[in-house]
Structure 1
Amino acid sequence: MGTKESFSINGENLLKKVKELIAEGNIKKITIADKSGKELASFPLTFGVVGILLMPVMAAIGAIAALVTECTITVERHDEETGAGNGHA
């Protein structure tokens, strides 16, 4: 199970904030909702997703940022104590 954290942010800072969160590296999923709470997009992220694989995600987030003035980002993080393995031999 991961931990969740939410940020209220305006559209012009959305892409910058998402890039910062992805750079942290422990993000499992990012969900973007409008100010009324309606989910606009949800992006699952895995370890090692970088560069060209993020381009479609960034393009979609850029499009959302152009359409909304205010939104909420909900970030689901991997728990720190869980390793790369899932406990199965």
Structure 2
Amino acid sequence: MTTKETFTLHGENLVKKVKELIAEGNIRKITIADKEGKELMSFPLTIGIVGAIFAPILAAIGAIAALIGECSIIVEREPDEETPKP
């Protein structure tokens, strides 16, 4: 079962926060929504996404960040492997 977290921030911090989340490595999917909750962009993160493949996604996030004020990032995380399963 995945867990979801939501971060609310201003557009200028969007790319920085997405990079931080990707560096954590346990993210399954990132969704970016405007302040009304309308989904603007959603992309899955798999173990194989790195470097050149991810650069166009960051460019698109940067373009969105330039156009919007406040937004939300909804993050779906992989379950912790250390947590025992019932």
Calculate the TM-score normalised by the size of structure 1.
Answer: 0.88
Aligned counterpart, 1:73: 73
Calculate the TM-score normalised by the size of structure 2.
Answer: 0.91
Following the alignment from structure 1 to structure 2, what is the Cα–Cα distance between the partners of residues 56 and 75? Answer: 19
Runs of 4 or more off by more than 3 Å in structure 1? Answer: none
Shift, 1:48, TM fit: 3.2
Give me the CA root mean square deviation.
1.1
The residue correspondences of 1:28-47 to structure 2 (distance < 5 A) are 28-47=28-47
Aligned counterpart, 2:64: 64
Any gaps of 5 or more consecutive residues in structure 1?
Answer: 83-89
Aligned counterpart, 1:14: 14
Following the alignment from structure 2 to structure 1, what is the Cα–Cα distance between the partners of residues 21 and 73? Answer: 10
Aligned counterpart, 1:23: 23
Aligned residues: 82
Any gaps of 5 or more consecutive residues in structure 2?
Answer: none
Identity of counterpart residues, as a percentage? 70
Q: Which amino acid aligns with 1:5?
A: E
Which secondary structure state, in structure 1, belongs to the residue aligned with residue 23 of structure 2? helix
